[in-house]
């Protein structure tokens, strides 16, 4: 009787997943909505609450998390034939394609099967250890990478990041349908860039309208996790590798984000 061979990598993936309590996919229907910023700050916020967190940058073509977390010049280590993720804090570790590129401007020109293998390797060959949360930052859209994560990591939960304007919410509706097709548990929608807070007078200016994310949540009967406003200094802190959740704790964005984290944990 023919016995099907089991891929050793799949066994190692399962062994790694068995040591991770919660898996969360952060994705969006379109680019430019601040998804990676949300993923980085979410991972940091969870780690600051004493939780062990792994951050997996699945955006293979635009791996920006190393830059955002001030780790762009670091490299991974190999121990006992396993990849050791880069330590951002005592409780937060990161794996990103950025750590494997020869140059910061080197493009990753890969088709679907190669991307699937890379994501599999990030799970099978990385020594994540025991984690409370694994946060996966996916590229925008509903392509190979989020499909691969959903295939490789069963029972993954998800959050969708959108901005208020109609162009973004239209694609976010597709993202909601995508989670339903893959049986992902959708924890809710985050509305990013929800109004500009004037640094001089503190007045809120709705650059991209407002309420689009909450409208989608009501339409599909899913949780609305909250709004994160635009604050000019947050752009600078991100470029410097200083996420606002730790370096701008008194900002309105950080306060809004802490409330969102409470809902996700709850």
- Partners of residue 204 on adjacent β-strands: 197
Using alpha carbons, list the distances in angstroms from residue 96 to 7, 118, 121, 236.
24, 10, 12, 22
The answer, as to whether pTM is greater than 0.85, is yes
Is pLDDT of 156 > 60?
Answer: yes
* Kind plus residue range of the DSSP H or E element containing 247: helix 244-247
What's the pLDDT at 2?
A: 53
Q: What pLDDT, on a 0 to 100 scale, did the predictor assign at position 211?
A: 79
Reported as a single tens digit per residue, the pLDDT across 41-84 is 999 999 999 999 999 998 888 889 999 999 988 889 999 989 99
What mean pLDDT is reported for the chain?
87
Residues 23-31, mean pLDDT to the nearest whole number: 88
Distance CA 111, CA 128 (A): 26
What percent of the residues of the chain are helix, what percent strand, and what percent coil, each to the nearest 5? 40, 20, 40
pLDDT for residue 194: 86
d(CA 39, CA 9): 27
Q: How many domains does the chain have?
A: 1
* pLDDT of amino acid 3: 57
pLDDT at 4: 60
Residue 2: inside a domain: no
Here the CATH number for the domain that contains residue 105 is 3.40.50.300
- Establish if 124 belongs to a structural domain: yes
Q: Give dist(CA 177, CA 186) in Å, integer.
A: 10
Task: Answer whether residue 42 is part of any domain.
Answer: yes
Mean pLDDT within 203-217: 81
173 token code pair: 């509706």
pLDDT classification of 24: cutoffs 50, 70, 90 = very high
Residue 79, in any domain of the structure = yes
Q: Which domain, by its residues, includes 167?
A: 8-265
Inside any domain, residue 66 = yes
Contact 76, 83 (CB under 8 A): yes
Mean pLDDT of 163-176: 82
């Amino acid at each position: 009787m023919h016995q099907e061979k089991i891929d050793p990598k799949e066994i190692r993936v399962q062994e790694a997943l068995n040591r991770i309590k919660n898996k969360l996919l952060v994705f969006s229907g379109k680019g430019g909505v601040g998804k990676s910023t949300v993923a980085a700050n979410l991972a940091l916020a969870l780690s600051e609450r004493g939780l062990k967190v792994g951050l997996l940058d699945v955006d293979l073509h635009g791996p920006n998390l190393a830059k955002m977390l001030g780790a762009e010049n670091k490299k991974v280590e190999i121990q006992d034939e396993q990849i050791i993720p880069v330590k951002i804090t005592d409780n937060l570790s990161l794996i990103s394609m950025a750590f494997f590129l020869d140059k910061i401007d080197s493009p990753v020109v890969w088709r679907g099967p190669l991307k699937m293998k890379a994501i599999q390797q990030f799970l099978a060959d990385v020594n994540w250890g025991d984690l409370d949360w694994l946060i996966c930052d996916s590229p925008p859209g509903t392509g190979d990478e989020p499909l691969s994560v959903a295939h490789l990591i069963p029972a993954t939960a998800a959050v969708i990041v959108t901005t208020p304007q109609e162009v973004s919410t239209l694609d976010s509706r597709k993202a909601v349908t995508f989670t339903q097709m893959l049986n992902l548990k959708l924890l809710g929608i985050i509305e990013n860039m929800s109004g500009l807070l004037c640094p001089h007078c503190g007045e809120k200016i709705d650059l991209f309208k407002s309420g689009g994310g909450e409208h989608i949540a009501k339409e599909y009967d899913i949780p609305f996790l909250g709004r994160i406003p635009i604050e000019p200094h947050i752009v600078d802190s991100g470029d410097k590798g200083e996420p606002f959740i730790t370096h701008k704790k008194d900002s309105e964005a950080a306060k809004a984000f802490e409330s969102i984290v409470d809902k996700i944990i709850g």
